[in-house]
């Protein structure tokens, strides 16, 4: 049996929400708002955006305040003081002579000696053979443990080894007297010299040895004067030897001397202590011919020319020299700390320079000429400490400067300007020197 009844769903056509007509007017607007879930979310999101903007504004204000506080803190922490000091200065003409003395002498301007030496060789062509007799030579150090007075040793003074070999010096020397070191110990005076064998021959080519001075035998000086090798004794020979022309030997010697002088002078200049000064005339060069020897095996037609070069630098402590010049030049100088800012520019001359050997004689006469600029010194660290932590309104700079005889005037500047006291650390106080036109 067929059921003709139909349900409401059967007779009602199916429609989607898009098929429902939208009412006009007020109902239309309501429908639109009601049907759009996205617009509803947007509505509530607008409220959240305002809150976010407020939070961002607060954060921005916080950052600005933090930056301002940091800037103020930085200014407070980075406060500093600059003190500009004008030291007492004076220009004077110097034209005076002085006596220079070694550290073991007294009665003049102290000087020190720096010395470097080196032996070089150069090959030259041999031209013949002949019987030759050559004396060995080497360097020794002579000691004076007898007394505080220097002892002169005359030319050809003998030095003897325990085996009875005799060596001699070729020039007169003065062995400095004893000194007392910082610990109160007596130190023998000493000097380095070159000695030559009394006779030619290879038997005088010896290693390091001790020496006595036969000339003092039988006196109190014999046990108190002695010598020790600094180098071995070499060059002694007697027999047939290859010979080069005199011209070639001299040429090789000149080349060796120039090369070694340049090398040693450059090296010694690089080693001058910081507070010492070396004038051009204070650099001495001495060359000595060691001899010729056959070249190594396989070079039968060659000989080696040997030359020894020694460079001596006579240097002065700047402080000692400054005070000596000031004492000799300035009428009212009372021994204050003083410096000469253009000390190197003065004309320095050693009297009879070609005839003196300060490293052996222990003293010489020199002169200085020129316009020199004196500058009085003061203790910068002490000056800084006089300001540390002091209240700004209680500091009288003139009262402070009264304790510094080397300062003509000074002015100070505190940063930032509103600081009421000086820094508590000397690292925040800077001393600037104003030398004016001098």
Bridge partner residues of 368 (DSSP): 96, 348
Residue 267 CA to residue 107 CA, distance in Å, equals 31
> Given this model, what pLDDT does residue 32 score?
42
Structure-block tokens of residue 214: 């036969």
Contacts 24+ apart (CB under 8 A), 285-289: 285/261, 285/309, 285/310, 285/311, 285/312, 286/310, 286/311, 286/312, 287/253, 287/257, 287/260, 287/261, 288/194, 289/253
Residue 149 CA to residue 151 CA, distance in Å, equals 7
Residue 57: φ, ψ to 5°: -65, -45
Tokens 């005839």 identify what position?
A: 355
> Given this model, what pLDDT does residue 26 score?
46
The burial class, CB within 10 Å (0-12 / 13-18 / 19+), for 211 is buried
Residue 347 CA to residue 93 CA, distance in Å, equals 12
- For residues 158, 159, 161, 164, the Cα torsion angle rounded to the nearest 10 degrees is 10
> Given this model, what pLDDT does residue 73 score?
58
Residue 310 CA to residue 194 CA, distance in Å, equals 11
Residue 170 CA to residue 116 CA, distance in Å, equals 20
The helix/strand count (H/E) of the chain reads as 8, 21
* DSSP class of 254: H
DSSP letter for each residue of 331-398: TT--S--EEETTGGGSEEEETTGGG--HHHHSEEEEEEEEEEEEEE---HHHHHHTTTT-BGGG--HH
Residue 322: φ, ψ to 5°: -60, -50
Structure-block tokens of residue 94: 């110097």
pTM for this model (two decimals): 0.67
Low pLDDT (below 50) residues in the chain: 1-14, 16-18, 25-44
Residue 343 CA to residue 374 CA, distance in Å, equals 9
Tokens 């708002």 identify what position?
A: 33
């Amino acid at each position: 049996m067929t059921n003709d009844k139909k349900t409401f769903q059967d007779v009602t056509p199916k429609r989607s929400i898009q098929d429902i007509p939208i009412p006009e007017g007020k109902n239309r607007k309501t429908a639109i708002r009601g049907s759009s879930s996205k617009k509803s979310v947007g509505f509530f999101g607008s409220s959240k955006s305002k809150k976010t903007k407020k939070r961002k504004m607060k954060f921005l204000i916080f950052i600005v305040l933090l930056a301002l506080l940091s800037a103020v803190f930085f200014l407070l922490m980075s406060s500093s003081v600059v003190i500009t000091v004008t030291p007492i200065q004076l220009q004077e003409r110097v034209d005076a002579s002085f006596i220079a003395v070694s550290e073991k002498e007294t009665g003049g301007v102290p000087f020190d000696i720096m010395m470097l030496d080196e032996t070089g060789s150069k090959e030259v062509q041999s031209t013949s053979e002949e019987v030759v007799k050559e004396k060995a030579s080497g360097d020794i150090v002579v000691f004076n443990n007898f007394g505080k007075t220097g002892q002169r040793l005359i030319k050809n003074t003998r030095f003897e080894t325990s085996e009875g070999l005799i060596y001699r010096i070729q020039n007169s020397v003065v062995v400095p007297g004893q000194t007392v070191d910082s610990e109160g110990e007596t130190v023998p005076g000493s000097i380095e010299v070159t000695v030559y064998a009394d006779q030619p021959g290879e038997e005088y080519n010896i290693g390091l040895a001790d020496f006595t001075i036969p000339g003092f035998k039988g006196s109190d000086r014999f046990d108190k004067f002695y010598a020790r090798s600094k180098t071995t004794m070499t060059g002694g020979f007697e027999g047939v030897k290859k010979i080069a022309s005199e011209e070639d030997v001299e040429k090789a010697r000149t080349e060796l001397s120039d090369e070694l002088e340049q090398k040693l002078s450059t090296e010694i200049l690089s080693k001058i202590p910081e507070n010492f000064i070396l004038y051009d005339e204070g650099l001495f060069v001495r060359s000595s011919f060691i001899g010729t020897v056959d070249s190594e095996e396989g070079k039968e037609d060659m000989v080696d020319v040997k030359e020894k070069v020694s460079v001596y630098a006579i240097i002065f402590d700047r402080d000692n020299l400054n005070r000596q010049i000031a004492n000799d030049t300035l009428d009212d100088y009372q021994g204050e700390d003083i410096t000469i800012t253009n000390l190197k520019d003065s004309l320095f001359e050693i009297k009879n320079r070609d005839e003196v050997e300060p490293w052996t004689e222990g003293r010489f006469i020199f002169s200085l000429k020129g316009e020199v600029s004196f500058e009085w010194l003061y203790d910068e660290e002490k000056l800084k400490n006089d300001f540390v932590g002091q209240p700004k309104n209680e500091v009288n700079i003139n009262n402070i400067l009264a304790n510094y005889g080397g300062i003509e005037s000074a002015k100070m500047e505190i940063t930032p300007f509103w600081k009421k006291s000086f820094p508590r650390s000397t690292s925040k106080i800077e001393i600037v020197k104003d030398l004016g036109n001098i």
